[in-house]
Amino acid sequence: MCDRLATKIRLYLLVLGTPLLAVPTTLGAEILRLGGPGGWSEWTLPGDAVDVADGVLKPAFVRQNIDAVQNAATFGGGIRAAGTALNRAPLLIDGDMETAWTPASEAPLEDWWIEVDLGRVVSARTIRLHFAEGGEPLEFFKVFTSDGEPFFTSAGVAIEGTLRYNKRRLYSFNQDRVIEIDFGLKPLQHIRIQADKKTLGAQLSELSVESVGDNLSLGARERGGQIDVHSLVGSGRDERHENPLISRNLIDGDITSYWGRKEGRGVTPVGLFILDLGVLFWVDRVRLLGDFTGLPTTGERARTRFGSINYLWYKMSGSDGSLAPDGSLRWVSLGELPESLRNRRDIVHFEERFPPMKLRYVRLLFGMTSGALSGTTAEFQVFGEGFPAALTALSPIFDLGGKKTISALDWRALVPPATRLEIRSRTGNLLDEEYFFYDKNGKEVSARKYDKLIPSFRGRIDTVRTIGSDWSNWSPVYEVSGQGFLSPGPRQFAQIEVQLLSEDPFSAPALETLTLHFHPPLVQQTLAEIYPAEVDPGAPQNFTYFLRTTATSANRGFDQILLSSSAAVHFKTLRINGEAASVQIEERDDGTLLVLDHAVRRSGLLEIDFESTLYLNQTRFDALLFNSNLEGQVQQVDAGDASETV
């Protein structure tokens, strides 16, 4: 690095990054405390990947082998209908074996039925119906199941609100209090229990559905993810990026909506799905549901259903988001399906299982149509277990009420082994505003179209504030709670980024509170630069550190300057507005402290002469301002054009 043949060593001012200890608040100091119940509501969070229900920011656990009934309400499900005792119907799915739905004895037999909607299609392993210990089990009854298939008109159009129960189980002379139905991981959304004969005192205490687990594809968009579909891959100009509104059908939890493609005879196109889960999860299983439930059974369009196929072949791969040398995502193989005629219709559900691995993206390259046949896919399901491996929470932009100096950031958190909590900050004075226009129905429209609408057809206008051009980059990660603030100041606005990371799927960090300590600036503005900016390596050199301050009558000023560098600094003189100033020197582990006789409270130029010998390129020089009467109040110095002579 100190090669004599090298060119000049370049210096630069780094006004950030010096750790400070948080101290008790003093005159003018303020505190912004974040977190607690309701404290995370304004943050940008990755959907269902986080849990803030108890006021603590922590990752949400992804489960396997769940009861899909218990969170049906999350997806808009629950009791769909009941022929009798509707007010007690929720007791069938409340998770409590001590409560029960009891059909009214006086109700006619045709009303002894109840329907449950899981809210989304699940890959069901087992259905269990429990009859209460204190009552009688139904003796004659049927259990109907449906994946959500509707009825169709004679023209092949789905009839909205209708439901076809396409499977049933018949029970006669039943005496069992627990009925189990092996469902074989087939798609399931609706269950109907219907009595064929009254059994007085019958009490149905609980219905449960064991499914594979939490389907990570649901909620991908709310986490910031999406699914992209490309058709005719590799065909050059004919390659198509499908409409996102259609692509979303693959991850909407509705098996009756689907993505499909039909090409001409002799064409065997290649398709591509890329699913972004929005967050890095531990994943061990992917299921592809190719059911034709959403295709019509009647009318001219019925030919589509009976002429549809699934995958001729596929290659599945995954990525954790890391990049290859060319900047593309780095992919690893998750499995593949060899080409076979059986894949056309004999196999409807496809599955790949693999050891748990950190994945954010799942990619499927496939051949999907042959001849004049249509290729369809109904649902793309992804499963795993454990806490997310990485997620990011972003605070709103905090307005400090004018230019303020943030002196320290502290937090309270639980960080178990194999986990990390990474906190960064950024600051600025300028904000940009972006406007979003909506009609009276809540549909987003352009500003031009909005202006053309008559007043009664206009809806709301949303204003979104974003960071302006003067904002700093994200700071380095804070190492310890109570550390000095690492972003420039004084500034009016600040923002915090929190990353929750884990290398153990069964362990995760949790952030309870964050606290910003800030105060009015010692001076309104600082600008600093150093001369010369380039020197020969390994030779003693005289330097001047120029510090220009802008102050107002409200500023308390400063009487101490901490100058630190990765190279040794030997102080010589200090001038204030061209006049020599008396100064005391205190050598500290973190640099050279210059103690002035009196506080600098007016605008002016300070020149600090010192000697140093540099060996490394881009040698750092840091500066901090203190006021000895304001304990704990520190101001960082901004790099900028401080002297007209440099």
- What is the tens place of the pLDDT at every residue in 438-463? 988 888 889 999 998 998 889 999 88
Higher pLDDT, 232 or 351: 351
| Segment 29-33 mean pLDDT | 88
For residue 501, give the nearest of 395, 421, 417 by alpha carbon.
Answer: 421
Higher pLDDT, 552 or 290: 552
Contact 492, 431 (CB under 8 A): no
Report the C-alpha gap between 644 and 638 in whole angstroms: 17
pLDDT above 70 covers what percent of the chain? 88
CA-based end-to-end distance of the chain: 27
Q: Which of these ranges, 31-45, 256-270, 552-566, 622-636, has the smallest mean pLDDT?
A: 256-270
**What is the chain's length?**
646
For the chain, the average pLDDT equals: 87
* pLDDT surpasses 70 at 109: yes
* pLDDT surpasses 50 at 292: yes
User: 6 pLDDT band (50/70/90 cuts)?
Assistant: very low
pLDDT at 309: 58
How does pLDDT run across 58-71, given as a tens digit for each residue?
999 999 999 999 99
Contact 389, 505 (CB under 8 A): yes
> Which token pair is 321?
């988001």
pLDDT at 300: 55
For residue 556, give the nearest of 493, 602, 606 by alpha carbon.
Answer: 602
Report the C-alpha gap between 141 and 335 in whole angstroms: 43
Report the C-alpha gap between 288 and 361 in whole angstroms: 15
| Segment 530-547 mean pLDDT | 90
Surface-to-core class of residue 310, CB atoms within 10 Å of its CB (0-12 exposed, 13-18 middle, 19+ buried): buried
* pLDDT surpasses 70 at 372: no
| Segment 155-169 mean pLDDT | 80
Give the three-state DSSP class for 36. coil
How does pLDDT run across 485-528, given as a tens digit for each residue?
999 989 999 999 999 999 999 999 999 999 999 999 999 999 99
pTM: 0.84
Report the C-alpha gap between 187 and 164 in whole angstroms: 14
CA distances from 42 to 37, 38, 483 (A): 12, 9, 25
How does pLDDT run across 117-155, given as a tens digit for each residue?
999 999 999 999 999 998 899 999 999 999 988 767 666
Contact 10, 617 (CB under 8 A): yes
H or E stretch at 345: none
* pLDDT surpasses 80 at 428: yes
Higher pLDDT, 617 or 370: 617
pLDDT at 22: 34
* pLDDT surpasses 60 at 5: no
pLDDT at 242: 76
User: 37 pLDDT band (50/70/90 cuts)?
Assistant: confident
Report the C-alpha gap between 264 and 274 in whole angstroms: 25
pLDDT at 573: 94
pLDDT at 3: 33
Contact 484, 407 (CB under 8 A): yes
pLDDT at 26: 52
DSSP letter string, 476-504: PPP-STTEEP-S-SSEEEEEEEEEEEESS
* pLDDT surpasses 70 at 17: no
pLDDT at 24: 41
Report the C-alpha gap between 244 and 12 in whole angstroms: 47
What domains can you pick out in the chain, each with its CATH number? 9-20+522-636 (2.60.40.740), 30-59+391-430+468-519 (2.60.120.260), 72-211 (2.60.120.260), 226-385 (2.60.120.260)
User: 9 pLDDT band (50/70/90 cuts)?
Assistant: very low
User: 378 pLDDT band (50/70/90 cuts)?
Assistant: confident
Report the C-alpha gap between 374 and 80 in whole angstroms: 34
H-type helices in 470-599, by residue range?
A: none
For residue 421, give the nearest of 397, 459, 451, 391 by alpha carbon.
Answer: 391
Q: Is the dihedral of CA 13, 17, 21, 27 positive or negative?
A: positive
* pLDDT surpasses 50 at 542: yes
pLDDT at 374: 58
Higher pLDDT, 211 or 537: 211
pLDDT above 90 covers what percent of the chain? 62
pLDDT at 10: 43
Question: Which region holds residue 145: left if phi is over 0, alpha if psi is between -120 and 50, else beta?
Answer: beta
* pLDDT surpasses 50 at 18: no
> Which token pair is 439?
């009609």
